[in-house]
Structures are given as C-alpha cells and as structure tokens.
Structure 1
C-alpha cells in the first residue's frame, strides 16, 4: 500500500485529507505538534478504514525538523510515496506589532519546511516512478496581499509558484504535484488566529466550504495531475477578478475587505 506524509494533520484540512487518503487505500504518516489529536485521528482511521496511521510529532518551526522527521520515518522502515504540506497558521495583528519570532515561525513552517520536505522526499518518488505532492496554499495566494496579515498571502503565492515549477520538473516521472488553494473553510484556523467572530460576521454561510469538500477536490486534482486547483465557483470568480483588475483596483478591493473586518 502507498504511504503519504501529512503535516499539520491534527485538525482541519490536514485531518480531512488524512481521512480521504485512508478511504482511498493509503497508509498514513501523521505529523503535527499535538500528539493526542494525532493519536485520536490514527485510531479513528484504523477503525473506519483499516489503514495504518503512524504518528510522529514534530514542530516544523524548528529548521532542523524536516530532516529529523524524514530520519524518524526512515528509522521506522517506512517509504513515503506522497507528501501533503499542510501545516500553517497566520498572524493578523499587523506586521509592525507582531513579534518577529512569529514571522520567522510562519516562514519556516509554511515556506521553508515544504521546500525542505519536497527536496528530501521527491527524489525517491521520481526514482520509484510514483509520487503525489499536495501543497496546501490558499485563494489568498492569488489575491493582492492584505495589511494586517501581511505575510500570509505572499507565502501562499510562493507555494503556488513552487508547485508549478515542481509540476513542470516532474512531468513524465509518475510524480503528480498540485497546489490546493481553498478559500474560507470551516476549520479551527480562524479560531487560532483570533479572527473567527469577524470573518463569520463578514461573510455569508454560502461562501464557506467544509474541510472534507476541500480535501476531496484536492485529492481528485492531484490524481488528475493538475498543477493548481481552487475549490468553489465563487472562489474561482474572485481569483479571476484579481487577475483582470488593475493593481490599484485589486488593492482597493482587498483593502476594503480588511477595513470591513476591522469595523466588526
């Protein structure tokens, strides 16, 4: 059975992707900082799908974590056939008022760790002639950056572009690479960054998608070897508008979005 490594697998889109891949017959390696949540998910997956889920805790904010994680996987005699770079978080208090250490952690977890893990694991996939990589980006990566959550969008833009480059390099090797770009998704993400009340009040229920829906769209897109997928018709309309509008108009649009949240 193929085995897939999922970072940030303790909740939200990461956990939903774990359930989808288990349903499709994959064994799993689940990693995040919260061991109890990972263990509970691993037990659920075994009971529901009969798939093995190995739990390895890691804090990807540590620059040494990707290499240590791969070493721990190798020590267990496991082969990684798929990689989902999902771990991430945001800081919405503003660039100038956020602790620089928090920005360093964002860049390490969401940008440098995916690069390192891809570089460590993709050569084996190419050699074996089979592999799957999903980089969980965001609709924000297609939009102009917003004030307040200043680094989040640019980091996700990087993931989209890096995924496109990897997709081009992997053509003909049996390795599929996809950037998954969800919009607003019902997870604990906004609870963690403290914006749940504001975003829930600002946007109607029909704009939100479930983590399970996002995960299934991501799975199907990666199997089809699509370099990028954005779940949801409205999200694709917003992505298209951001590309078509002049820079000034696009910045005004996202600036109005930020001001709307601040007023709530």
Structure 2
C-alpha cells in the first residue's frame, strides 16, 4: 500500500485486549481511524475514549460466535457511512483439553469465531477495497499453524493453519488489485489469552525468552502488511522454529511437539 493511498480506517476485531488492542493503538499512532469490535462494550468504550483524542474511533459491540454478527457489523458500517480500508481479523481464543472434553456447541462457537467470521467479514469488505484500488487484510494467525499439531487445544493449530493458507491465497488474488493480505504468526505473546484458556500456570514455566510483547507483534504485523508481505513471523526464535520444523522429517517433528505439548497445552 503506497503512502499516496494510505488507508483511512481500520476495523479491528477482538480489539478490547491483547494483540488486538495493541494493533488498534499502533494504528492510532499512525493516524489511522478505527472501528473497534469486541464483545465487551465497556472495554471498547474505555479504549475509544483514550484513542479518540488522536483519531476518529467507532465501536461495535458484537459476539462473533453469533453467525449473524458479521452481517450486523457491515450493516452498522453502512448506516454510519464508515469506509473500511483495512480489516484486522484478530478475534480468537483456544478451547483447552481434548477434543472430546468439550461439547459440540463449544467447538461450533470456536469455529464460527475463528473461521466463519473471518471468512465472512473478509468477503463482505474486500469488494470495497478492490473497487478503490487499495486496502489491506491482516489476519492474526499463529506460529502454531506452521508446526505439527499437538495434543490438547485440538483445533487451534488447525484453524490457524487454515488462516495462513487463506491469507496466502488471498494475497495472490488481491495484490494485482492493490489490496495486500498478510498472515501475522506470533508465538507466545503476553496477553489475557492464557488466562482465558486456563493454561497460565503451564506457560508461565516457559523461558521468558520465548515471550513476545503485544506492541512489538502489532508493529511487525502492520509493517508487513504495508510492505505487502504475505506472512510475518515476529521474533527470530520463532522464525528459527519454523525453519527447523520445515526441514525435520515429519515423524521427528511430530514426536518433538508431542513431548513438549504438555508445556503449553491442556490435553486432559
């Protein structure tokens, strides 16, 4: 995206905390208007009050586990005359434990947030970007989508792998039309994520060197999108892990992940 076509407004899902909040803050620093989307209205209002001193900020309180939420979000944008130039699909979480330790409704809600809402919001907002000849989609995936699957949090790596492949394909389709698409693939990042999934005690035993700061991840992802890079892996350690995983025999990589998965996954 050239500076002459600098986007005016970014819509960020899951903007009330963690990487989503950090991305919103970074865009505000860069003078980009914001549409903040999350379930927790009070948090959105507090963040909007703070960032609204610098850029125009709108909030939309919606739960993306509701299949009707993407449509209502786009309808709200149209009613308010808001044009989205950057879509940040960040909302997400993990379902701890074995696949069969949770009921299907739990898994269905997870898939709606992590796959259904991502695909639908992208499908609804991309046409406007392509028509204007500029824009961007930043999909917050994970390095978990680039390494073999682990026991526990059974679908997390799978949906992140889908998000990466989805982003790669969209990048090829949209680049000729002036729209950049990037998959942001962070590793362990300081946020509320592990508190929500109940794995804080496990991951706290990991080396501090493996942890990333949310604001660093946000800057790296936004810079990669601006540069038209289809994938961004913040942190040299995680780029190294990805390269090692690519070159190890599949069976060896799976055994290593299998042995280490209890360090960061609840498989009970």
Cα distance between partner residues in 2 of 1:132 and 1:259 = 37
Cα distance between partner residues in 2 of 1:260 and 1:53 = 39
Which of 144, 150, 157 aligns to 1:140? It is 144
Q: CA deviation at 1:16?
A: 0.2
Displaced runs of 4+ in structure 1, greater than 3 A? Answer: 259-263
TM-score by length of 1: 0.96
Alignment of structure 1 residues 175-194 onto 2, 5 Å: 175-194=179-198
Alignment of structure 1 residues 77-96 onto 2, 5 Å: 77-96=81-100
* Match of residue 25 from structure 2: 19
Stretches of structure 1 lacking an aligned partner (at least 5 in a row): none
TM-score by length of 2: 0.95
* Match of residue 161 from structure 2: 157
Stretches of structure 2 lacking an aligned partner (at least 5 in a row): 1-6
SS of 1:93's partner is coil
Alignment of structure 1 residues 1-264 onto 2, 5 Å: 2-47=8-53, 50-201=54-205, 203-261=206-264
Structure number with greater CO (CA < 8 Å, separation at least 6) is 2
Please provide the CA RMSD for this pair.
1.2
Q: Is the 8 A contact 2:145 2:164 kept in 1?
A: yes
Q: CA deviation at 1:106?
A: 1.0
Q: CA deviation at 1:260?
A: 3.9
SS of 2:129's partner is helix
CA displacement 1:158-182 (0-9 Å, x = unmatched): 0000000000001221211000000
**Does 189-198 or 98-107 show the bigger shift?**
98-107
Q: Is the 8 A contact 2:203 2:263 kept in 1?
A: no
Cα distance between partner residues in 2 of 1:183 and 1:260 = 14
* Match of residue 3 from structure 2: none
**Does 156-165 or 236-245 show the bigger shift?**
236-245
**Does 150-159 or 250-259 show the bigger shift?**
250-259
Cα distance between partner residues in 1 of 2:132 and 2:262 = 50
